[in-house]
Amino acid sequence: MPNSLLIEHNRQQFPKSVVRLAPGIWSAIGFAASNMHLVEGQSSVTIIDTTESTKAAENVQAAFLKRTSKPVGRIIYTHSHRDHISGARVFAPDNDIPIIASATFNSDLVQIDQDAIAPNRALGLRTQAQFGFGLSHEERVSLGCGPGDRPMEGLGAGFLEPTERIVADCEIDLDGVTARLILAPGETADHMLVWLPEQQVLFSGDNWYHAFPNLYAIRGTPYRDFKAWADSLDLMAGIGAEVLAPGHTLPVTGKDRIYEVLTTTRDAILYVMEYTADGMDRGMSMNDIAASITLPDELADKPWLGEYYGKIGWSARAYAAGTLGWYDGNPTQLGTMSDADRATQLATLAGGTAALFKAAQATQDLQWRLELCDHLIALGEPAEGMKAEALVALAETEINATARNTYLWEAKRLRGDGEGKG
């Protein structure tokens, strides 16, 4: 059975619903991996973000039409991740309305240059693993940031290029509704907040959601600037919103609660930075830093900092690599051994390959079993089935949805059940 905390997080944060934030303002929750928002103006509406697929966008469109039949006058992208930009064509079939985004808008999942020297296949496979493509609904219980069970037809198919790019914070008119667009780098460098001062509603994009922030995505991303993200959370906390509408999970209401969730999330990011930097300064290995880091008690008990999406140990590794690179200061790491050479040496220490295989079968430490299986596989031994079993067992204990999905997806691949289908 999946981890009960992950199941409860999924149940509480992604109920399929249209939530009224203020008069004429709604959020669509649980229809897709990300939320969509609607702001009703005098004769038209503004759509903020457009989900990951055309089918999900069509479902949200039908739900929004029950609230207002006014035509869409403009679309705003809070940032460039595919799950926020891929349903735009549903709301602008003739591509004849303004589509507004940051001047730095630059998606890493849309229109990848296939001629560039880049690990695009690796990115694609790791993305499929992180989000559990090809897993059943029962296996993919959650994405951590959204429901696992959602429509996939037209995934990535409805993207439209921005027509207006915002170079500095500015005020715009949403057909009678005053909005302030605020550049606020965080999960991506091109993040843009939408603040409605009269209604006191703040649309945060993915700079905040009800989970430990995804400071590093295991699908593979460039370094996400931790300090810039923390600074943007500080900026958001100072706005004094009465309603916080995130790009994932339920809205948060009440000025004091919003201030609390934003400042504690900021503090959690700063803590990861400080702990990791201190560990590196003291000569700790990256493995020891990642294995030992936990949030302090005053942060660890906050429900919105549960590791349902981001993971603290992964974040520490990303911060170390993003600031000082892969070398951890131990000169042993400057040399190189192939996986097969290292496995051969370990097998010799164990008393032979058969003894190594027996040790992998005997250990109750699932992480150690995985590592021993990797050595056996490097030696050409048939340990794929044992590794797959260990991955499935780990998945059932995981609170982190992306780790769970990756474990299960990779287990299927090892068993020859296919990859990236569904």
Residue 281 lies in a domain: no
Rounded distance between C-alpha atoms, residue 288 and residue 296, angstroms:
17
Rounded distance between C-alpha atoms, residue 35 and residue 83, angstroms:
9
Residue 54 lies in a domain: yes
Strand, coil or helix: 399: coil
Residue range 341-345: mean pLDDT, rounded: 96
For residue 376, the surrounding DSSP H or E stretch is helix 366-378
Last residue of a domain, one of 202, 228, 254: 228
Strand, coil or helix: 278: helix
* CB 35, CB 17: distance < 8 Å: no
Residue 270 lies in a domain: no
For residue 100, the surrounding DSSP H or E stretch is strand 99-102
Question: In the structure, what pLDDT confidence band is assigned to residue 422 with cuts at 50, 70 and 90?
Answer: very low
Residue 49 lies in a domain: yes
Strand, coil or helix: 247: coil
State the total domains in the chain. Answer: 2
* CB 242, CB 281: distance < 8 Å: no
Residue 265 lies in a domain: no
Strand, coil or helix: 203: strand
Residue 246 lies in a domain: no
Residue 20 lies in a domain: yes
pTM of the model: 0.94
Please give the radius of gyration of the chain, using alpha carbons only, rounded to the nearest integer: 23
Question: Side-chain half-sphere of 353: how many Cα atoms within 13 Å?
Answer: 13
Q: What is the pLDDT of residues 1-50, one digit of tens each?
A: 788 999 999 999 999 999 999 999 999 999 999 999 999 999 999 999 99
Q: Check which CATH number belongs to the domain holding 410 and give it.
A: 1.25.40.880
Look up the domain containing 75 and give its range. 4-191+223-228
Last residue of a domain, one of 173, 208, 228: 228
Question: Side-chain half-sphere of 129: how many Cα atoms within 13 Å?
Answer: 22
Last residue of a domain, one of 177, 199, 228: 228
- Given a cut of 60, whether residue 322 has pLDDT beyond it is yes
**pLDDT value, residue 420:** 41
Q: Check which CATH number belongs to the domain holding 179 and give it.
A: 3.60.15.30
* CB 162, CB 208: distance < 8 Å: no
- Please work out, in degrees rounded to the nearest 5, the angle formed at the alpha carbon of residue 145 by the alpha carbons of 29 and 231: 105
**pLDDT value, residue 292:** 98
**pLDDT value, residue 118:** 73
Sheet of 72-76, strand order? 17-22, 25-29, 36-40, 45-48, 72-76, 99-102, 164-166
Rounded distance between C-alpha atoms, residue 309 and residue 307, angstroms:
6
**pLDDT value, residue 124:** 87
Q: What percent of the chain has pLDDT over 70?
A: 97
Residue 78 lies in a domain: yes
Mean pLDDT over all residues of the chain?
Answer: 94
> What single DSSP character describes residue 142?
B
